[in-house]
Amino acid sequence: MKISTELPPNYEAVKEKFNPAKTAIFTYGDTIYNPSGGVLTPELLAHEAVHEGQQGADPQAWWDRYMVDDQFRLEQELEAHRVEYQAFCARVKDRNRRAVFLNQIATRLASPMYGRVVTVREASRLIAQPPARQFTG
């Protein structure tokens, strides 16, 4: 994947729909857009790699559906968050740190940035389930 500090090509539409945090990152096709220049952890890279695969050859069509279909968005993000959590667990064995990380990413998934399509409690439960795609990093 390429990494850019520019805004993604569809940023205005994303901003209008979700009002993302200034530190938000986006994948559009084979590029991770990281406008804030924040640190991209191995876990975030794993998460964004899932989105690259989901988008396939037509990232605009994926984004068009992602923007309007809450269930689709939840499914797509759940898959990416599961892989992100699995990547963290592959690197960190401490149960307390894993629990904190799970709560952090569940809180993100339940946030307005994703349209509040799930509660934090439900997000935690769903993320902790094994992903369909296994992390191999």
Query: Which secondary-structure segment (H or E) carries 71?
Result: helix 70-91
pTM (2 d.p.): 0.91
Token pair 């797509």 in the structure block, residue = 76
Phi, psi of 97 (to 5 degrees): -65, -40
Q: What share of the chain is helix, strand, coil (3-state, %, to 5)?
A: 60, 5, 35
Along the 137 residues of the chain, how does pLDDT read in single tens digits?
A: 999 999 999 999 999 999 999 999 999 999 999 999 999 999 999 999 999 999 999 999 999 999 999 999 999 999 999 999 999 999 999 999 999 999 999 999 999 888 889 999 999 999 998 766 555 55
Q: Are residues 68 and 97 in contact, defined by beta-carbon separation less than 8 angstroms? A: no
What does the alpha-carbon distance between residue 75 and residue 71 come to, in Å, rounded to a whole number? Answer: 6
Domain boundaries, the chain: 2-127
**pLDDT for 137:** 55
Token pair 């369909």 is at which residue?
Answer: 132
